[in-house]
């Protein structure tokens, strides 16, 4: 049974984790934020021509976040971030370019090593656009 948080995004995909054995059920406060987060993801999906998005990481409990080496202040722990790919639209770089060029509100947009897109919401809504590369870490702007 699937619990839909919005027309295209489910609670299950927003809380899935490879970290079996670790509790990744969101508390009520996080669930409320997840519902707001998927509404933004719906806007992203529309921006991407309604191409299906694959969520690779949504909510992370503090234990899961530690296990995957996430930032200690990660927006994933607040239910205000999603990592995803959208192969039918294009590469993570192409997705980032489309989001950066739109008027969507976000805090951080990160193109992660050509492998996935991190979209962080809430906080200061900085509209910060970054690229992450192994060894080089975070750099401002999008890189080819």
Which neighbouring-strand residues pair with 66?
none
- Cβ proximity to Zn ion: between 33 and 118 the closer is 118
Helices (H) and strands (E) in the chain, counts: 4, 6
Cβ at position 81, least distance to Zn ion in Å? 5
Given 44, 83, 96, 130, the residue binding Zn ion (CB under 5 A): 83
Give the C-alpha separation, 130 to 115, whole Å.
Answer: 14
Cα angle 15, 1, 88; round to 5: 60
Cβ at position 110, least distance to Zn ion in Å? 7
Q: Biggest alpha carbon distance in the chain?
A: 42
Is residue 118 part of the contact set for Zn ion (CB under 5 A)? yes
Among 13-21, 24-32, 80-88, 129-137, the segment contacting Zn ion (CB under 5 A): 80-88
Is residue 80 part of the contact set for Zn ion (CB under 5 A)? no
- Cβ proximity to Zn ion: between 97 and 132 the closer is 132
- 6: its two tokens: 């919005």
- What residues line the site for Zn ion (CB under 5 A)? 83, 118
């Amino acid at each position: 049974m699937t619990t839909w948080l919005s027309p295209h995004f489910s609670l299950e995909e927003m809380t899935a984790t490879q970290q079996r054995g670790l509790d990744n059920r969101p508390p009520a406060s996080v669930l409320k934020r997840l519902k707001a987060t998927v509404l933004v993801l719906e806007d992203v999906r529309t921006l991407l021509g309604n191409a299906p998005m694959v969520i690779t990481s949504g909510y992370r409990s503090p234990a899961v976040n530690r296990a995957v080496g996430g930032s200690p202040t990660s927006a994933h722990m607040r239910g205000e971030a999603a990592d995803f790919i959208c192969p039918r639209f294009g590469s993570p770089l192409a997705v980032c370019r489309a989001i950066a060029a739109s008027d969507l509100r976000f805090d951080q947009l990160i193109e992660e090593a050509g492998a996935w897109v991190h979209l962080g919401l809430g906080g200061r809504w900085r509209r910060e656009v970054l690229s992450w590369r192994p060894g080089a870490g975070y750099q401002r702007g999008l890189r080819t």
